[in-house]
Structure 1
Amino acid sequence: MKKYILFSLSLCFLICSCVQKKTQNENIDSQNISSGVEWLDTDGNRINAHGGGILYHEGTYYWYGEYKGDSTYWNPKVPSWECYRTEAGGVSCYSSKDLINWKFEGVVLKPDVNDLQSDLHPSNVLERPKVIYNDNTKKFVMWLHVDSHDYAKATAGVAVCDLPAGDFEYLGSMRPNNVMSRDMTLFKDDDGKAYHFYSSEENRTLYISELTDDYLKPTGNFTRNFIDQSREAPAVFKREGKYYILSSGCTGWDPNVAEYAIADSIMGTWTVKGNPCSGTDADKTFYAQSTFVIPVAGKKDAYIAMFDKWNKTDLINSRYIWLPITFKDNGDIDISWQSEWDLEKTFK
């Protein structure tokens, strides 16, 4: 009887181990992208790269994101909204050849745990990191939203590195063009010029700021866009000479309706087109918020909209939603809900 019990327990353990291994590696050898579920890296660990962006360099995609701590708490010193947050853990980096299987490269912008006055101290806010490559300086340049714990500082931080997954050197923070800077993204145009998009004026207005040739500072050439419309979470891409921007409203961690706009020039004027989402929960952006748009290398009209599905009371357990963008004949876009889709079949 004891031998039978031991055999049964061993068999059960073996079956459970196999099931767990399959779950951790369910995307291996598959081209499916599943949204809203837990994503694991190639080591079987949860991907921790929130508010992220993608850099494609020499055949590899690099995903940079907020490396969130495992304890979420509410900051009562911010009474105007539900300021749930975690300790800032720096900026993580994952690499992939296929946009499906992601290898953890490490925390490439590390927190400064010793200096309470440092922008990078865990008590502060580090959000929405984006990285672009400068062909002239041969530097990888990171911009991110850097803030105090109560979101009063409202600055942009800059860091550089010689390698896409190396240790980035933090250069400091600023209020670009002498105004607030919170939710942000970067965009590098076909001519090599780079631009910083950021929510400003207490998030009421979105600024588009041209960067210097080394991508380290604003040139002073900027425009104010969507004035008093309270847009945040910008994600920008270009197709057939036209510029597109996705954004969300300002409702804290809670979802709202997305919006997109199109322009012939990156600095504007922008024409608002409305909600790009369709299908289940489209009026809530699938209970998520935009963060980046990925142009799929080597594919025509292949763009993936990246969203964060925030879990405000357990932020490290927030999920990712990636969906393909489809284009109508007039250039308008549609992002339809799909719980799972095949990357190769969608972008032939």
Structure 2
Amino acid sequence: MMYSSTDLLNWKNLGPQAPSVKGYWRPKIAKPNGQFWLYGQQDRYVLSLQSPQLVGTYSTAKKVHIPPSDYSYSDTGMFHDDATDTWYLLTSADHNTIQINKLNSDGSVGDRVSTLTGGAYEAPGIFKADGVYFLIVSGKTGWRANPNKVFWSNSIAGPWKGGSNIAPEADKTYGSQNTFELTINGTQKTTYIYMGDAWDSKGSTGSTYVWLPMKVDTSGKTVTLDYHKQWKIDVKTGVVSHP
């Protein structure tokens, strides 16, 4: 299913986009050329779907075997670097490597440009602030939430440094796991939003989301979630408010 919004509060259901595809996890949209692409997890691999228009019927392109070693991958993420107009596919592997691959102009997955190793990480997401790349990842603890961490680099190619928690450790990222970071370039300020999945292992309606604005310190290379039970953002100005 695809949804659209003009204010991040009210959402319109645009209907199913690929009715024949079942069990498609964490889909992400990219536009590396004139076509629109969806990349999502299916059967421990990435399945790519293609459509000539953003809203419409997506057809299966192919199952992606990510170089160099064709491991099974999961937890797809997407990052668009507007400085170079380049799209990157983010994946986490069963061999505990976060991998960043450039998307080619034809929608195929190119060679890897960067990796994050040294920990059991998954659910990668990247955003850029003042020229600094921030990579947020979750630990691998199954359905149980954990303290998500942030790494940083001055280049998409790494190396990645840091590894601090984005929220108090005891709160375990407020019961969520990272999936995407959204940048709002407002007229008054730029706001970065953490978007996390609040998984329910039973698959009930309790599987919702935790979205929070982030406090970003590019000089100190830190990112922390600004937690409030209720908050909203003016998508035109970028200003966040809460009761």
TM-score, normalisation: structure 2: 0.88
User: How many angstroms apart in 1 are the aligned matches of 2:115 and 2:221?
Assistant: 24
Contact map agreement 1:146 1:155 (CA 8 A) in 2: yes
The answer to whether residue 194 in structure 2 is matched with residue 302 in structure 1 is no
Which one has more relative contact order, counting CA pairs under 8 Å at least 6 apart? Answer: 1
The answer to whether residue 81 in structure 2 is matched with residue 189 in structure 1 is yes
Cα displacement (A) at 1:187: 1.1
Contact map agreement 2:197 2:208 (CA 8 A) in 1: yes
Cα displacement (A) at 1:199: 0.8
User: How many angstroms apart in 1 are the aligned matches of 2:193 and 2:2?
Assistant: 19
The answer to whether residue 162 in structure 2 is matched with residue 288 in structure 1 is no
User: How many angstroms apart in 1 are the aligned matches of 2:42 and 2:65?
Assistant: 10
> What is the aligned counterpart of 1:263 among 130, 153, 164?
153
Aligned partner of 1:117 in structure 2 is none
Aligned partner of 2:240 in structure 1 is 346
What are the residue-to-residue correspondences of 1:97-116 with 2, within 5 Å? 97-110=6-19, 112=20
User: How many angstroms apart in 2 are the aligned matches of 1:217 and 1:195?
Assistant: 11
Aligned partner of 1:277 in structure 2 is 167
User: How many angstroms apart in 2 are the aligned matches of 1:162 and 1:231?
Assistant: 34
Code of the aligned partner of 2:13: F
User: Would the alpha carbon gap of residues 282 and 192 (structure 1) be closer, same or farther in structure 2, given more than 3 Å must change?
Assistant: farther
User: How many angstroms apart in 1 are the aligned matches of 2:112 and 2:121?
Assistant: 21
User: How many angstroms apart in 2 are the aligned matches of 1:212 and 1:296?
Assistant: 26
**Deviations 1:49-92, CA, capped at 9 Å, x for gaps:** xxxxxxxxxxxxxxxxxxxxxxxxxxxxxxxxxxxxxxxxxxx1
Aligned partner of 1:313 in structure 2 is 202
- Consecutive unaligned residues in structure 2, runs of 5 or more: none
Aligned partner of 1:236 in structure 2 is 126
- 3-state SS in 2 of match to 1:163: coil
> What is the aligned counterpart of 1:217 among 102, 108, 129?
108
Q: CA RMSD in A?
A: 1.9
**Deviations 1:242-266, CA, capped at 9 Å, x for gaps:** 1111111111111111101011111
Cα displacement (A) at 1:240: 0.8
User: How many angstroms apart in 2 are the aligned matches of 1:262 and 1:217?
Assistant: 27
- 3-state SS in 1 of match to 2:137: strand
- 3-state SS in 1 of match to 2:173: helix
The number of residue pairs the alignment matches comes to: 232
**Deviations 1:165-205, CA, capped at 9 Å, x for gaps:** 211111120221122211121111121111111111x1511
What are the residue-to-residue correspondences of 1:67-216 with 2, within 5 Å? 92-110=1-19, 112=20, 120=21, 122=22, 125-134=23-32, 137-147=33-43, 154-177=44-67, 178-190=70-82, 191-200=84-93, 202-214=94-106, 216=107
- Structure having the higher helix fraction is 1
User: How many angstroms apart in 2 are the aligned matches of 1:131 and 1:290?
Assistant: 17
User: How many angstroms apart in 2 are the aligned matches of 1:220 and 1:288?
Assistant: 31
Cα displacement (A) at 1:226: 2.0
Query: Looking at CA atoms only, which structure, 1 or 2, has the larger radius of gyration?
Result: 1
Aligned partner of 1:57 in structure 2 is none
Q: Which deviates more, 157-166 or 101-110?
A: 157-166
User: How many angstroms apart in 1 are the aligned matches of 2:204 and 2:127?
Assistant: 27
- Structure having the higher strand fraction is 2
**Deviations 1:79-110, CA, capped at 9 Å, x for gaps:** xxxxxxxxxxxxx1101111111000011122
Cα displacement (A) at 1:237: 0.7
What percentage of aligned pairs have identical amino acids? 27
User: How many angstroms apart in 2 are the aligned matches of 1:170 and 1:139?
Assistant: 13
What are the residue-to-residue correspondences of 1:319-338 with 2, within 5 Å? 319-328=208-217, 330-338=220-228
